[in-house]
Structure 1
Amino acid sequence: MGNQIVSMAKSMAPKKGSKKNSSNASGRGKVRGVRKGSLEEEVMQKQALALALQQHQKAQMRLERTMSQRAAPGPTPTSTGRLPRSSSTRARSVTDPVVHPQQLVNGALDQKVLQTLETRHFVLVHGGGHGAWCWYKTIALLEEAGFTASAIDLTGSGIDYTDPNSITSLSQYVKPLFNFFEKLGENEKVILVGHNVGGACISYAMEHYPRRIAKAVFVAAAMVTDGQKAIDIFTSQSESEEDMLQKAQNFIYANGKSAPPTALEIDKNLIRDVFYNTSPSKDVALATVSIRPVPFAPLTEKLSLTSENYGSVRRFYVETGDDKALPVANQEALQRNNPPEKSFKLKGSDHAPFFSKPQALHKTLVEIAMLGAKS
């Protein structure tokens, strides 16, 4: 194969002695022209070789993926007695672990394990200013592991082009999520995941659809109590931390300065420092062009939560260890005031673990899905 690639590269490179390299200039001009032509030829040969190698690697990866899909469903131990590694080409690191290898087959949970779960369906609710787009890594990982993942665009978010300034209530903001629940099968349940102010949104949904929600997961989210507002969670921080968050926020007064704010806009020059301080640059770039103003009225609405409805749903909290928008101390205070069934920590994650620690977040979500029935 190596000889074929070299031959391919040579065939893609220009031929020596072509008319392009000939010159009718003086002797000195000819020497310089030959040297320049040789250099260009060498560069083009290297580029051709690199392209050929790249094409070969892509073809090899496609072949390996096809082979893994055609393989028998059961794992085949290697000579060392260990299960083979997943055929996924996604890079992984020690600090961003994958799902525990037990019960894994080619990167997915064993079908027997999946069949024992109360539900395989995750519903992902974004935070303020974001949209369904922010969950793209989480969606891919969950589906590869055999789950179903649905990401919701709340009103005025993502590809829902309602003017955020026109949204005047929490019920209006979460209407797409409620529409989703109305379309679920009669006995179908989901695992509801909320990020940032999405925590208040899923709390509101837990109160209205408790029998449709098997578990609720708050990811660096506003896990409010009865009578509390989402904005309370983000305005109770220490002075230095609050200043950093406030610097990234600009209020919009669509009804005039004498009326309350209608939306809150995030300063795109500061979002990396506050929200994505450990996230990859490409994801920060995605957020910069995708993030939208946050409707203000839903943030200031008090929630009415009852033990019969909201309190009947199993709750879990996921802490983000290097969060500048909602520091760990505040996340811990939330949990003391409203204890979840269990808490998980993502070390080194900023406020957006779906960008900065997607594998660790995925592992946590799968672990929550696999937790047995509450005794």
Structure 2
Amino acid sequence: MGNVFDCMPKKELRGGIGSRSKRGPKSKSQRKVTASEEELLHRQALAMAIQQHQLSQRFEGSLSRRIGSTSSRRRDLPDLITNGKQNPIFLENLETRKIILVHGEGFGAWCWYKTVSLLEEVGVFPVSLDLRGSGIDYTDPNNITTLADYSKPLTDYLDNLPEDEKVILVGHSCGGASISYAMESYPKKISKAVFVSATMVLDGQKPFDVLSEELAYADVFLKESQFLIYGNGKDKPATGLMFDKQQMKGLYFNQCPHKDIALASVSMKPIPLAPMMEKLSLTPENYGSVRRFFVQTLDDHMLSPDIQEKLVRDNPPHGIYKIKGSDHCPFLSKPQSLHKILLEIAQLP
């Protein structure tokens, strides 16, 4: 099974990046970073971000003053989160307390750290998985050739789930393809599915078909993009995709805090291309039996509001929610708004 979100103990932060400032210039060979050093760097950045986030939570105002989301099918929520008290009130009468958070292309379990913290505070059990080749899973992205292989940590988790237990799946961006694949494979174990600015594809459609409308026509993009990776040689089809830091900032993080952009810059990994190019087989009996909800992000540069509108028109979900002022990553730019939406969906009977 893939790596589950894990918070590094604070004591591991000793001897961080700043301790190198007094050393002289390094040669190119000395600047090469091993896989273990990359993982340590990622964990240090993540731990610092979590620490700052938890600290900021102590001083923020009430949730009702900070939410900026709207829903096309609004329901009045009781004040179940803080109720004006110091300690949170735990949610009751939920069909399931397990919410599985599935990251999008290039991301990892790390990206959900704010959502994990907020959900745990109200008694929900969030599980954030690294898909193959993502986060601290060091599978070579060039060797991931199918959506089933890429999504294996998720399907392994569902496969090991007791028959009488259900979960809520939340997929971001191209993680929508992974949760769609899981819905087709394990419909009886999934209570609801939430697509967060995600590729909510139709039967026979490829995840890349959705993104290509933003990036360029697929054939042109695959021929001309300077961001493609040819792990098997230039004479073979591209195996991966990796935007540079400026491109990522403009596409994904245009409303994110600087500390989260810094975290992403040391954590994002190449995107396996083959799973994005695979057509999904989705049936009404399996995929269609799970209630779907779509979260629209209204300041999204990666998947524009127009494309998101097209997705929900072509494949209508049971409910639509909108987050004002959110870029492609509401779990970083608008975590409280996303949190409220997830709680609302979790409480729907």
Shorter-chain TM-score bucket reads 0.7 to 0.9
Other-structure match for 2:301: 324
Moved more, 224-233 or 250-259: 250-259
* 1:225-244 alignment runs, 5 A limit: 225-237=202-214
1:96 aligns with 2:63: no
CA distance in structure 1 between the partners assigned to 2:113 and 2:225 by the alignment: 24
* Aligned-pair CA distance for 1:270: 2.0
Contact 1:107/1:144 (<8 A) preserved: no
Other-structure match for 1:291: 268
Q: Return closer, same or farther for 1:108/1:177 CA change in 2, 3 Å cut-off.
A: farther
- SS where residue 235 of structure 1 aligns? helix
Q: Return closer, same or farther for 1:173/1:108 CA change in 2, 3 Å cut-off.
A: farther
Q: Return closer, same or farther for 1:321/1:179 CA change in 2, 3 Å cut-off.
A: same
Percent of matched pairs sharing the same residue = 53
TM-score by length of 1: 0.71
Other-structure match for 1:165: 142
Other-structure match for 1:117: 94
Q: Which of 243, 246, 257 lines up with 1:280 in the alignment?
A: 257
Q: Which of 325, 337, 343 lines up with 1:366 in the alignment?
A: 343
* Aligned-pair CA distance for 1:365: 0.4
CA distance in structure 2 between the partners assigned to 1:282 and 1:237 by the alignment: 27
* 1:58-137 alignment runs, 5 A limit: 89-92=58-61, 94-96=65-67, 102-105=79-82, 106=85, 110-111=89-90, 113-114=91-92, 116-137=93-114
**Greater length-normalized contact order (CA 8 Å, ≥ 6 residues apart):** 2
What is the identity, as a one-letter code, of the residue corresponding to 1:96?
I
* Aligned-pair CA distance for 1:333: 0.1
* 1:216-231 alignment runs, 5 A limit: 216-231=193-208
Contact 1:249/1:267 (<8 A) preserved: no
Q: Which has the larger radius of gyration?
A: 1
CA distance in structure 1 between the partners assigned to 2:86 and 2:151 by the alignment: 34
Other-structure match for 1:34: none
Q: Return closer, same or farther for 1:265/1:141 CA change in 2, 3 Å cut-off.
A: same
Moved more, 151-160 or 246-255: 246-255
Contact 1:263/1:295 (<8 A) preserved: yes
Q: Which of 278, 285, 289 lines up with 1:301 in the alignment?
A: 278
Deviations 1:171-230 (A, max 9, x none): 110011111112212211000000010000000000000001000000000000100000
1:339 aligns with 2:339: no
* Aligned-pair CA distance for 1:289: 0.5
Other-structure match for 2:189: 212
Other-structure match for 2:31: none
- SS where residue 290 of structure 1 aligns? coil
Deviations 1:2-52 (A, max 9, x none): xxxxxxxxxxxxxxxxxxxxxxxxxxxxxxxxxxxxxxxxxxxxxxxxxxx
1:265 aligns with 2:267: no
TM-score by length of 2: 0.76
Q: Which of 330, 340, 354 lines up with 2:331 in the alignment?
A: 354
CA distance in structure 2 between the partners assigned to 1:335 and 1:107 by the alignment: 39
1:251 aligns with 2:254: no
CA distance in structure 1 between the partners assigned to 2:212 and 2:181 by the alignment: 20
Q: Return closer, same or farther for 1:303/1:194 CA change in 2, 3 Å cut-off.
A: same
Q: Return closer, same or farther for 1:257/1:363 CA change in 2, 3 Å cut-off.
A: same
Moved more, 281-290 or 87-96: 87-96
Deviations 1:55-99 (A, max 9, x none): xxxxxxx9xx9xxxxxxxxxxxxxxxxxxxxx9505358443699
* Aligned-pair CA distance for 1:237: 3.1
* Aligned-pair CA distance for 1:338: 0.2
* Aligned-pair CA distance for 1:101: 5.9
Q: Which of 152, 155, 159 lines up with 1:178 in the alignment?
A: 155
Deviations 1:213-267 (A, max 9, x none): 0000000000001000000000123869xx99x9997000011122110110121
What is the identity, as a one-letter code, of the residue corresponding to 2:193?
A
Q: Return closer, same or farther for 1:281/1:366 CA change in 2, 3 Å cut-off.
A: same
Q: Return closer, same or farther for 1:107/1:208 CA change in 2, 3 Å cut-off.
A: farther
- SS where residue 276 of structure 2 aligns? helix
CA distance in structure 2 between the partners assigned to 1:220 and 1:304 by the alignment: 21
* 1:33-44 alignment runs, 5 A limit: none
Q: Return closer, same or farther for 1:281/1:302 CA change in 2, 3 Å cut-off.
A: same
What is the identity, as a one-letter code, of the residue corresponding to 1:89?
R
Unaligned runs of 5+ in 2: 1-53, 70-75
Residues matched between the structures, number: 283
* Aligned-pair CA distance for 1:109: 6.5
- SS where residue 361 of structure 1 aligns? helix
Contact 2:68/2:323 (<8 A) preserved: no
CA distance in structure 1 between the partners assigned to 2:225 and 2:135 by the alignment: 20
* Aligned-pair CA distance for 1:107: 6.9
